[in-house]
Amino acid sequence: KGLGTIVNMRDFEKAAEDMCSKVAWAYYASAADDEITKEDNNSDYKNIRFRPRVLRPVKEADASTKILGYDSKIPLWISPAAMAKLGHPLGEVNLTRGAHSSGIIQCISSFASCSIEEITAARAPGQPLFFQLYVNSKRHLAKEVITKINRLGLNAILLTVDAPVGGKRERDIRAKGAFEAPKTEAFDKQGETKGVAEAIFSAVDPDLNWKDLKWLREQTELPIIIKGVQTVEDAVMAYKNGADGVILSNHGGRQLDTTQTGLSTLLEIRKHAPFLLRPEYRIPTGPNPQLIANPEKLYPDPPSTEKSLDRKFSIFVDGGIWRGSDAVKALCLGADAVGVGRGFLFAQTVGGQQGVEHAVKIFESEILLTMRLLGANKVQDLRPSMVEVMDSQHH
């Protein structure tokens, strides 16, 4: 069965379920407790309605952007997700090759099943790669990892902060007994059989705090992005403590269940800390009074600037992005780019490198189609006035 039958990202999910081992499926699909947040992550996008503008030229359209200064063909990256080899023998290397041939950026998990050396060996010259860091309680081990990241010339560090301890992932717990932690420096204990998640989190320091951000800053000159920010307060804390950006994320619903979604956190930031957003994104959603007063103006909202593509503080969102239109909604609201976790794990499970390339094609064509139908031919033209948030509490 070829990739021709895979028309959207949910098709990858269905195909992967049939192809994965029970343990792999339990680990990939699982989320915490009742998996409410995992569901909300996608359904929240359904509460945003588009306000398409008509009679705008859209024959030429371009979805490319810059992410932390690096070119990306679409405003979407591969979120760091552990254990790609559970789905396909080549694991993360599929993502590295597929990301390069498709022109997008891969974020490597601290718990990748391929070693960092294997991944960087598969990297094309000049290919940007970001690294997701869990800080080991044994700081000398954490330091070794950061030294290696610096030496191998990776391009950014995503510090994951929403997982001081692992969430209660029941599918994973039920499937336990069949997994042995691989022998990598990330794992303290070897050969014990636990659920996959349980084995992984034994190496993460639950006492990590804001002071450690200073420590991390001393270890590297790379941009540091805080991953797993779930409130406007912590987004402001990240900014004030010198982070280069945040990923508004609840870890794909795998940590604390019934938290708000990354999208809702973005709405909180719009309301309570708009200074974190680029100026042209600080305007309200919905009908634009400026345009109503001057209906003949084509682009009434504040114009985008070159600088805004490469500004200091970046805001990313992940969780529940299954459609190009979901990504476009987050961008209209001020996100610089979005991340996709499970979607790419499933794509590489089903089709290896070609699966990843096919997934990027799906996202690219859906993003371009959405932009055209919305009346925008560049991602920098997406604006809050192009969407309306249905949930009244967020106005």
Segment contacting ligand FNR by CB under 6 A, of 56-64, 123-131, 147-155, 341-349: 341-349
64 by DSSP, 3-state: which?
coil
**Binding characters for ligand FNR, 17-36, by CB under 6 A (x = yes):** ----------xx--------
Task: DSSP letter for 233, please.
Answer: H
Segment contacting ligand FNR by CB under 6 A, of 213-221, 230-238, 312-320, 361-369: 312-320
Binding of residue 340 to ligand FNR (CB under 6 A):
yes
Size of the site for ligand FNR (CB under 6 A): 26
Segment contacting ligand FNR by CB under 6 A, of 107-115, 146-154, 286-294, 381-389: 107-115
Catalytic residue among 88, 100, 251, 358: 251
Binding of residue 251 to ligand FNR (CB under 6 A):
yes
HEC secondary structure over 75-116: CEEECCCCCHHHCCCCCHHHHHHHHHHHCCCEEECCCCCCCH
134 is catalytic: yes
162 is catalytic: yes
Binding of residue 383 to ligand FNR (CB under 6 A):
no
Q: At what angle do helices 342-374 and 92-102 cross, to 10 degrees?
A: 20
Segment contacting ligand FNR by CB under 6 A, of 52-60, 301-309, 339-347, 355-363: 339-347
| Amino acid found at 62 | D
Catalytic residue among 27, 45, 70, 134: 134
Binding of residue 98 to ligand FNR (CB under 6 A):
no
- Measured from the CB atom, is 225 or 232 closer to ligand FNR? 225
Burial of 209 (0-12, 13-18, 19+ CB in 10 A): exposed
- Measured from the CB atom, is 79 or 385 closer to ligand FNR? 79
Dist. CA 322–CA 346, nearest whole Å: 12
Both structure tokens of 37: 């947040």
Under 8 Å CB-to-CB from 190, ≥6 apart: which residues?
180, 181, 183
Dist. CA 385–CA 118, nearest whole Å: 45
**Binding characters for ligand FNR, 157-196, by CB under 6 A (x = yes):** ---x------------------------------------
Segment contacting ligand FNR by CB under 6 A, of 9-17, 54-62, 120-128, 245-253: 245-253
1 by DSSP, 3-state: which?
coil
Both structure tokens of 192: 């014990």
**Binding characters for ligand FNR, 59-88, by CB under 6 A (x = yes):** --------------------xxxx------
Both structure tokens of 249: 């994320």
Binding of residue 318 to ligand FNR (CB under 6 A):
yes
Task: Give the helix ranges, DSSP H, for the chain.
Answer: 9-19, 22-29, 36-46, 92-102, 116-121, 139-151, 170-174, 196-201, 210-219, 232-240, 262-272, 289-293, 324-332, 342-374
Binding of residue 321 to ligand FNR (CB under 6 A):
yes
Q: In degrees rounded to 5, what are phi and psi of residue 183?
A: -85, 80
Binding of residue 261 to ligand FNR (CB under 6 A):
no
Residue selected from 37, 41, 96, 230 as contacting ligand FNR according to rule CB under 6 A: 41
Binding of residue 259 to ligand FNR (CB under 6 A):
no
- Where on the chain is the footprint of ligand FNR (CB under 6 A)? 27-28, 41, 79-82, 109-111, 132, 160, 227, 249, 251-252, 254, 318-321, 340-343, 345
Q: Which residues have a catalytic role annotated?
A: 134, 162, 251
